[in-house]
Structure 1
């Protein structure tokens, strides 16, 4: 069986030039908050520590993965500090690795000392006020980490670490400092910036796939879990526990993107390689129509687990079931997705 193989890196970078154009133009809707979340009362935005001027000196912070070890002086902490002057209304800043930065991370009028060092492909060290922690993962961006204000209504500046992953499975680790320790807010799929850009240090926020609403919500470009390689916009928000949570959706649109032409499509076009009986709804028990072999159809939406809605060539809508994430149930028999459809994409 012939499989259409594309590199995820190419897909995502192409998406950034087309699919995200609306977001970069300021069209990002604020993500709804998780159930039970309370909105923090408005406070002044955290500012970088000043050093004899009205410009702040910011620090660096970053982490990824779960801590493998916590030590003081396990590896030599970078010397410094090397201070970086940034505007007081900072919302996003690229910070150099292997340098010590000073920044007030929690608006207590005292600057914290932060440094990020990539030790190898599978771990990095984060030093906060002379205490060093090592975190594990795969393929971290070695030269930079990031300072981001996720919520202008709280007192925290967040540290963000970009992980590339083993198969270009990009994700960003967010941390905040509560006055005693760094706490991981969450791990969000996607890119905080275009880290392949030669001007990454001066690029404005928005060149990556993660978009912020500045009120504790963000939208990530997440990879779908079913049938083939596809992506969707996933809303996240800071909850009452101050951690980032993905906001579950009943169904996720299975849009597609032609990275050669730059065209975006609200559905994914496929060609049937066999007859596919369809149910009127996921609750139905008997098929009510059949998508016929050789016809063009469109994947419309999915619960990202078991059910996918299909639009037939005639425009009728029906549902088919998955036996697992990648196998399609056809009249009680399991088939790989590429046995049922032409037009799927597989990348790993």
Structure 2
């Protein structure tokens, strides 16, 4: 009898272990189907006003300041016609109301949000402005061409509203939020080459995210691209100020490294030589340098500019 009981107990333990394994095994085609409800931390100054949530971990939090908790369910599934292991949104529901249209290639496009391949590690609950009643939902997107963006949504108790997107991910080193309505994150500059800077966005009076226009931007060093230094290979005319009528400065070719410490991200880029000589170069159509009334492609003027593959 003891032997029989021992055998039965062993069998039950094996069955239980098998069941536990089946529950925790990740379904590569669907992320978040095995839901785990949790009251999440509030986004505060201590955590940078950002709380990470794993897809499938159903978050419980008051999103609109009415004193009642909302239940957020967000899950992913394998993207159709994709062989790179990307996902798309399967479900996005708040307190039982479904907002994702999973039959669409872009399930949230009807709200105005273009989310192609959402990040499969995290979604985020943030507090852009602590003086209002809202906590926002943020979904990071790898994008169709790997241009990283994050889309933001607000829930007002009656529906979900898309309020805009910014470049970069909330988990990036250059991303920051001040809790007063401003977000900063790394994004791509528009002229000369592939390079980036830190841009700012702020909430408008209508509660939408809008880019904060700066007079000048400081490019982020691109040393990590493991590239050769930029060299000036053709003589060009630069200017003492951001004005085509200002004093002209002749820049002669050399093997000295060239840097570009400032730009207005519209037409002007400050060029600096290793000997300390500086001058503003004027650019049209993003990649054509205007020098002595000539239009020169930037790749004819400089060697080793960086362009993304």
Q: TM-score range by the shorter chain?
A: 0.7 to 0.9
- In the other structure, the counterpart of 2:239 is 279
What is the Cα deviation at residue 89 of structure 1?
A: 6.3
Structure-2 change in CA distance of 1:284 and 1:88 (3 Å) = closer
- Report which stretch shifted further, 278-287 or 249-258: 278-287
Structure-2 change in CA distance of 1:292 and 1:247 (3 Å) = same
What is the Cα deviation at residue 347 of structure 1?
A: 1.0
Cα distance in structure 1, aligned partners of 2:62 and 2:126: 13
Structure-2 change in CA distance of 1:165 and 1:80 (3 Å) = closer
What is the Cα deviation at residue 304 of structure 1?
A: 0.8
- In the other structure, the counterpart of 2:299 is 338
Alignment of 1:1-348 (within 5 A): 82-87=36-41, 91-119=49-77, 120=79, 121=86, 123-124=88-89, 125-129=91-95, 130-133=97-100, 134-135=107-108, 136-193=114-171, 207-259=172-224, 270-285=230-245, 288-296=248-256, 297-348=258-309
Runs of 5+ unmatched residues, structure 2: 1-31, 80-85, 101-106, 109-113
Judging by fraction of residues, say which structure has more helix: 2
Mapped contact 2:76–2:88 kept (Cα < 8 A): yes
Mapped contact 2:43–2:126 kept (Cα < 8 A): no
Cα distance in structure 2, aligned partners of 1:220 and 1:314: 33
Residue-by-residue CA offset, 1:275-311 (whole Å, 9 max, x unaligned):
0111233333376221001153332321112121222
Local SS of the residue matching 1:338: helix
Residue-by-residue CA offset, 1:72-97 (whole Å, 9 max, x unaligned):
xxxxxx88974213345654322232
Cα distance in structure 1, aligned partners of 2:115 and 2:43: 32
Structure-2 change in CA distance of 1:87 and 1:165 (3 Å) = closer
Structure-2 change in CA distance of 1:260 and 1:302 (3 Å) = closer
TM-score (norm 1): 0.65
What is the Cα deviation at residue 144 of structure 1?
A: 2.7
Mapped contact 1:277–1:287 kept (Cα < 8 A): no
Cα distance in structure 2, aligned partners of 1:279 and 1:191: 37
Cα distance in structure 2, aligned partners of 1:88 and 1:137: 25
Mapped contact 2:185–2:200 kept (Cα < 8 A): yes
State the aligned residue count: 253
What is the Cα deviation at residue 172 of structure 1?
A: 0.6
Query: 4+ residue runs of structure 1 moved beyond 6 angstroms?
Result: 78-81
Larger radius of gyration: 2
Tell me which of the two structures has the higher relative contact order, counting C-alpha pairs closer than 8 angstroms and 6 or more residues apart. Answer: 1
Mapped contact 1:103–1:112 kept (Cα < 8 A): yes
